Amino acid sequence: MKKGISFSVIPMIALIGVLGLTVWAGYQLSVGSSRRGTSIGVSGEDEAIQDLELVKNLLLEGLETSSAQAALDIADNGGTDGGTTYWYCNGLVKPTPDEVESSLSQLSLDYLNAYVDELDNPDGPLFEIESDVPEYQCVRVFEPNNGNPSNSNCNNINSDSCEEFATSSAAGTDALIEINEPIYVNDDAELEAYIRDMRFHWIYYRLYNELNIEEIADSITFLGPDCYCYVRDPEDNIVRKDLYIQQQQDRIDHCYNSTGSMIDPRPSGCSDDIIAEVGFNIAYADGQPCTIGALPGTVRPKIQNKINELCDNCNDIFRDDPYVHCSCDITCFSELHLDCIQGECSMRSLPDICSEGPTIHLQAPTPSPIISYGSGPGSVKFRVTVEDSKFSIPSGDWGFKELVWNIYGAAQLEVYECPIIGDQQTVSGGPGAPRP
């Protein structure tokens, strides 16, 4: 197995192995179980050509499955093969079409070569065939949008023109698939396949062009806690002023009807001097120096409201498609610490991209911003999950999966301090009223 390949290759290889054995079983039924030129009516040349066709068909199955699995994995990551891929990281960093396509190319190549290694295994499905398959150098993806985010193929409300993509693989100049027994035959190693019933690009381009993640996420960074004025009441307890005054007014409402008369029969706690007592309490609290304090637990609900707004935006993008549903969640939140964002926004790098021919050329990595730790005390990570139930796609995880795109965001919360009012000043601006 090629070094550095993800562990997700392992179940995928097992799946392709099952496919290979299925193809091999059908082939055995068609030509008979006796090999090496002893089958009645099958010449050595015919047998070698049939072997070559079998190997080529298995490789085509491998290319299709590799590219489909790569698309599922990259969508799940958020757009690249480098793990969690952020679309927002204290600023807009959504993966570009080049990054997505190069990742799809690179991961498909990794999976395909892992499959080729499995075919070469003495215990693999081709154990009876003397074949040589070269290592592939490139899997090129021909996506229907041609790299143009505004192209109408994948930027339509309807996905009909963007439900498949083509791939081709090359193993280098003059690379061949070779059969050595019973006679030598060969064929060009290049492969071409279509990945059908796959709305990978359509979902990506709709989100890339229309998801309002930057404006909504920018506003999250400036959300602060609710600030309130805290004062001392006549019993010297620290109380939140607005709640204390409301409680005092509720005492009057408890005792008097709308006409200003005492309720009959008189409710408990309603003395004749209740109005004077309440008036004194309110005046006393109103005259106390105001200490402004933040109310804990008031930031996350505000962030959740913004995330819900982003989710509504996502569902509105796909409102005309009955198969797509967006859901959103906060995956990490810390009101006072940077735990949610440390070192996780700079994981993306641009892998090699195939050129038009069988060679590979390098493109410079696209830099990703690293969050600075200088200003805000808090942090948050969030995710938009876009599920597409229109097609079931063969997966390396033993079965079929629906396409799921994840859109990840991370933000550092700005420092937010409640306004400070001087110790000698009251909310009303006058001196504090001493209790008589």
SS3 assignment, position 14:
helix
Tell me how crowded residue 326 is: count the other CB atoms within 10 A of its CB.
21
Judge residue 374's burial from the number of C-beta atoms within 10 Å of its C-beta, 0-12 exposed, 13-18 middle, 19 or more buried: exposed
pLDDT of residue 433: 28
**In the chain, where the domains are located:** 9-79+98-199, 229-292
Alpha carbons 64 and 380: distance in angstroms, whole number: 38
pLDDT of residue 17: 52
pLDDT of residue 428: 31
Judge residue 33's burial from the number of C-beta atoms within 10 Å of its C-beta, 0-12 exposed, 13-18 middle, 19 or more buried: exposed
Q: pLDDT tens digits, residue range 194-208? A: 999 999 999 999 999
Q: What tokens were used for 302?
A: 């505000």
Q: Kindly give the residue spans of alpha helices, DSSP state H, lying in 256-346.
A: 274-286, 299-317
The residue ranges of the chain whose pLDDT is under 50 are 1-8, 10, 18, 20-40, 357-375, 421-436
Judge residue 352's burial from the number of C-beta atoms within 10 Å of its C-beta, 0-12 exposed, 13-18 middle, 19 or more buried: middle
pLDDT of residue 395: 79
pLDDT of residue 287: 86
Q: Cis link prior to 265 (omega < 30° from 0)? A: yes
pLDDT of residue 178: 81
Which run of H or E residues covers position 98? Answer: helix 97-119
> pTM for the full model?
0.74
Q: Is 119:61 a contact under the CB 8 Å cutoff?
A: no
pLDDT of residue 315: 97
